[in-house]
Amino acid sequence: MTRCPAGQAEVEMAELYVKPGNKERGWNDPPQFSYGLQTQAGGPRRSLLTKRVAAPQDGSPRVPASETSPGPPPMGPPPPSSKAPRSPPVGSGPASGVEPTSFPVESEARLMEDVLRPLEQALEDCRGHTRKQVCDDISRRLALLQEQWAGGKLSIPVKKRMALLVQELSSHRWDAADDIHRSLMVDHVTEVSQWMVGVKRLIAEKRSLFSEEAANEEKSAATAEKNHTIPGFQQAS
C-alpha cells in the first residue's frame, strides 16, 4: 500500500507529537502530546541565573538602584515658619525684670547717704553701752563700706538690699534685718565680706540696747505706778 507524501508527513508529525504507549485508545480520545518535543521545538534554552555574584571589593553593601536614585528636587523654598522670632517694636524699652546697671549720680549719692546715716546713728546710740573696742571695729567696717560704695565696687543688688536692711533696722524689725544680712552673705559674699561683719554686730548691739531700754522703761513705769498707789506717798513727797 503506497501513501501520498502529504499523508506520510502527517503520520510522522503525529508520531512526534503523540506519546507512544497506549495503543488501545479510542478514536475520539484526545491525543497525548510529548513534553520532550515541545522543549525541542521551543528554541534554545535560557541559562538560569544560578551563579552567585561576588561581593564588591571595597566592602560596601550593594544597594538596589531604586534606592540610590535621587528623588525629585524640592519645588521652591520652604514656607516661612510661624515660630520665627519677631523683632521688638521700635522704641520699646528693656524688660521690666532686668535691673539697671547703675543709678544716676544724684540718686547714687542720696542712696549712699540714706544707708550710712542710720548705721552711724545706731553706732552712736550704742556708745556708752557697748565696749569701746567693739564700737571702734564697727566704725572701721562702716568706713570700709562707704569707701567701696563711693569707689563703685558694689553692685546694684547689694545697694538695694542694704537700703532694705537699714529700713528694717530703723523700724526695730531685728529678725528681718538679720535675714537680709544673711542673704547678702550667701549671694554676694565676695562684695560684702569685709564690712558685713560690722553691720551684723551693729544689728546685735542695737537690738540688745533696745531690749535693755525697753526693760528699763517698763521697770520705771512699774515703780512709778507702785509709788503712786501707796497711801500717803504723795502727801509725804
In our burial notation (b when 16+ CB lie closer than 10 A, e otherwise), range 220-235 reads eeeeeeeeeeeeeeee
Q: Say how far residue 134 (Cα) sits from the centre of its chain.
A: 47
Q: What pLDDT does 94 receive? A: 45
| Residue 57 predicted with pLDDT over 70 | no
Q: What pLDDT does 181 receive? A: 95
pLDDT digits (tens, 9 = 90+) for 144-187: 999 999 999 999 999 999 999 999 999 999 999 999 999 999 99
Q: Which superfamily does CATH assign the domain made up of 105-223 to? A: Functional domain of the splicing factor Prp18 (1.20.940.10)
Give the predicted TM-score (pTM) of the model. 0.51
Q: What pLDDT does 237 receive? A: 44
Residue 4 CA to residue 92 CA, distance in Å, equals: 116
Amino acid at site 231: P
Q: What pLDDT does 95 receive? A: 43
Q: What pLDDT does 3 receive? A: 52
Q: What are the boundaries of each domain within the chain?
A: 105-223
pLDDT digits (tens, 9 = 90+) for 97-133: 444 455 566 688 899 999 999 999 999 999 988 999 9
Q: What pLDDT does 182 receive? A: 96
Beta-carbon contacts of 189 under 8 Å, excluding residues fewer than 6 positions away, are none
pLDDT digits (tens, 9 = 90+) for 8-45: 666 555 555 455 555 555 566 665 555 454 555 555 55
The cell for 212 is 535693755
| Burial of 103: CB neighbours in 10 Å, binned 0-12, 13-18, 19+ | middle
Beta-carbon contacts of 141 under 8 Å, excluding residues fewer than 6 positions away, are 194, 195, 196, 197, 198, 199
Residue 120 CA to residue 169 CA, distance in Å, equals: 12
pLDDT digits (tens, 9 = 90+) for 199-226: 999 999 999 999 988 887 777 777 777 7
Residue 207 CA to residue 181 CA, distance in Å, equals: 14
Q: How far is CA 151 from CA 108, 190, 206, in A?
A: 11, 16, 28
Residue 13 CA to residue 34 CA, distance in Å, equals: 11
